[in-house]
Amino acid sequence: MSKTSIISLRKIKKIYKLGEREIEVLKDINLEVEKGEFLAIMGVSGSGKSTLLNIIGLMDKPTEGEYFLMGRKIAHLDDDHLSELRNAYVGFVFQQFYLIEYLNALENVVLPLLYSHKSVSHLQKKALNLLEKVGLKERYKSKPSQLSGGEQQRVAIARALINEPEIILADEPTGQLDTETALEIMDIFSKLNAEGKTVVMVTHDPNMAAKAKRITKMKDGRIVD
């Protein structure tokens, strides 16, 4: 593990059991991500990209291998400890925004910290600042159904930032957006990266991957370059 690796995966395997059958979805993955990197993970459907991202984000556990997040070995940690680390260090952005329909943009952004012990007015102010950062401050009262796809993804990015995570993980964040809107979303990730966030993004789209600083390709559960 190099000194500045924020994410370090060694010989990671993931095996899913389907009845009697075992499928090896990740095979011997070695990956180092340095602090402040902007990495794109590419590969065809089914190559294991989301599985890998979910392991990086502590949403899933590898079957074999070692994972160090910010220098900390995570293999032996229990679920409570894993969610604690996830909440502290990781912000997730997904293709299907996953906003709560009956909450407005501001409330959606605050949601991850709603049960923290922080004051509501402090959280609202913070959420409003984040909405401003993603260019959506005036729409803070809008519900998801009143927002375009690109605007909903901006809300989702603001929500991912409310914990001030070191690492942003994005799984096909532009998959539902037209090219122009997708590039606007990529600009936000680039800006966050320029501010020091480590960004790891999964994408099919070479035009979006080109916005990252490094591209790694997966094929059939392995990293191939």
Ligand X SMILES: Nc1ncnc2c1ncn2[C@@H]1O[C@H](COP(=O)(O)OP(=O)(O)OP(=O)(O)O)[C@@H](O)[C@H]1O
Nearer to ligand X, 134 or 218 (CB): 218
Kindly write out the interface string for residues 17-56 of this chain, putting x where it contacts ligand X by CB under 6 A and - elsewhere: -x----x-x-----------------x-xxxxxxx-----
Minimum separation from the CB atom of position 50 to Mg ion (A): 3
- Contact flag: residue 16 with ligand X (CB under 6 A): yes
What part of residues 50-89 is at the interface with ligand X (CB under 6 A)?
Answer: 50-51
CA distances from 174 to 48, 189, 209 (A): 18, 11, 11
Burial of 80 (0-12, 13-18, 19+ CB in 10 A): exposed
Kindly write out the interface string for residues 9-48 of this chain, putting x where it contacts Mg ion by CB under 5 A and - elsewhere: ----------------------------------------
Task: Pick what 144 binds: Mg ion, ligand X, none; C-beta below 5 to 8 Å, kind-dependent.
Answer: none
Minimum separation from the CB atom of position 81 to Mg ion (A): 26
- By the 8 A CB rule, do 29 and 52 touch? yes
Rounded Cα gap, residues 91 and 112, in angstroms: 10
Task: Pick what 199 binds: ligand X, Mg ion, none; C-beta below 5 to 8 Å, kind-dependent.
Answer: none
What part of residues 43-72 is at the interface with Mg ion (CB under 5 A)?
Answer: 50
Minimum separation from the CB atom of position 223 to ligand X (A): 12
Minimum separation from the CB atom of position 183 to Mg ion (A): 21
Nearer to ligand X, 9 or 109 (CB): 9
Minimum separation from the CB atom of position 156 to ligand X (A): 17
Minimum separation from the CB atom of position 7 to ligand X (A): 17
Q: Which amino acid is at 56?
A: I
Footprint on this chain of ligand X (rule: CB under 6 A): 16, 18, 23, 25, 43, 45-51
